Structure 1
Amino acid sequence: MNDQDIRDLFAGLGPVTIKRMFGGKGIYYEGLIVALEVDGEVLLKADAVSAPEFAAAGSRQWVYAGHPGRKPTAMPYWSIPDRAVDDRDEIAVWARRAYEAGLRSKK
């Protein structure tokens, strides 16, 4: 996914900053990481409060395979719910949840 597509996806949240990282991209809003782009897929940040909402919406948690011989690690990032992929208003709701998870993790 190119940077302009990412900016368009997050337009309902506000202007985002995109930085290359870990072979993908980190997506930041107001200085907090809210999402990752990995292998062309955007994954939204979640935490103990919001992860159950992502799961209930049918999202899947990103599991980092890591290096050979190491155990895969579940990361605090979730796929965008299917119903939000093509709905700008709905993706704004999920992006806001990702930002709120970022705020909580900062405390």
Structure 2
Amino acid sequence: MKKALPSIVESTINRCLPLGDVRARAMFGGYGLYIEDVMFGLEADNLLYLKADKETEQHFIDAHCTPFTYQGKTAPVKMSYWTVPSVAADNQKEYLIWIERAVAAGKRARQKRPKKTKG
């Protein structure tokens, strides 16, 4: 029997449908969210975090968002995922703008990774 998705994941999928096929994949006790095989979001503890990079991080800071962090072996580790800004919570147009920024950041991150070689 397939486990039901958390409501925040279901809601994100539904709200992102205008942008294309959205998938959720279980990972590390939460879910990764993907559009076009690009991870743009992360659900953890029933919160949605969006992908950011050097180009977009300041937008999240200016919107008073908080980064996703987890406890590493010796200190907290900050990842490049930030909470969704409150301005986007009830505004679908604004929400999609932030999702598109996250997808773009995810695509840039993929381009920077070295290609995997077979064999």
TM-score, reference length from structure 2: 0.82
Name the structure 1 match of 2:117: none
SS across alignment from 1:99? helix
1:106 Cα offset (Å): 1.4
**Structure with more of its chain in helix, by fraction:** 2
SS across alignment from 2:17? coil
Unaligned regions of 5+ residues in structure 1, if any? none
Name the structure 2 match of 1:90: 94
Q: How has the CA–CA distance of structure 1 residues 83 and 76 changed in structure 2, closer, same or farther, with 3 Å as cutoff?
A: same
Q: Report how many aligned residue pairs link the two structures.
A: 105
Name the structure 1 match of 2:3: none
Give percent identity, aligned residues only: 33
Q: Is 2:14 the partner of 1:14?
A: no
Q: Is 2:45 the partner of 1:34?
A: no
Paired residue type of 2:46? G
* Cα RMSD after superposing both structures: 1.3
Task: State the Cα deviation string for residues 45-94 of structure 1 (Å, max 9, x = none).
Answer: 0001100111111111111123xx52110100000000101111111000
Q: Partners of 1:12 and 1:89 in 2: how far apart?
A: 10
Larger radius of gyration: 2
Unaligned regions of 5+ residues in structure 2, if any? 1-5, 112-119
Name the structure 2 match of 1:76: 80
The one of the two structures with greater contact order (alpha-carbon pairs below 8 A, sep at least 6) is 1
Q: How has the CA–CA distance of structure 1 residues 12 and 57 changed in structure 2, closer, same or farther, with 3 Å as cutoff?
A: farther
Q: Would you say the 8 A contact 1:33–1:102 is kept in 2?
A: yes
2:50 to 31, 35, 44: 44
